[in-house]
Amino acid sequence: MSLFPNPTSAAVRINGLTGATAIELIDAMGRVVLTTSLLPDQNTVDMHSLPAGTYILRLMDAEGVKVARVVRN
């Protein structure tokens, strides 16, 4: 799995999704600020409405849970 661009100003693309994936975006205070689902042909998470900061992107699919850090500038 890879994310780009990171840092981002609006959206982040996720490469390497192989099936339906549940997404949670978590802020620095541990609050879930975005929950969505993506299919393999949908690989973009829109972050334009979120304030600048560092977020944890949690991806949950049939293979397990993956976690990555994303910076919104």
According to CATH, the topology of domain 2-72 is Immunoglobulin-like (2.60.40)
Domain ranges of the chain: 2-72
The reported pLDDT for the residue numbered 27 is 98
Residue in 2, 21, 10 with CA at minimum distance from that of residue 62: 21
pTM given for the model? 0.92
* Tokens, residue 37: 């689902």
The reported pLDDT for the residue numbered 40 is 82
Section 26-40 average pLDDT: 95
Which whole number is the average pLDDT over 33-51? 93
Please give the pLDDT value at position 11.
96
Range among 17-21, 31-35, 36-40, 59-63 with highest mean pLDDT value: 31-35
What percent of the chain has pLDDT above 70?
A: 100
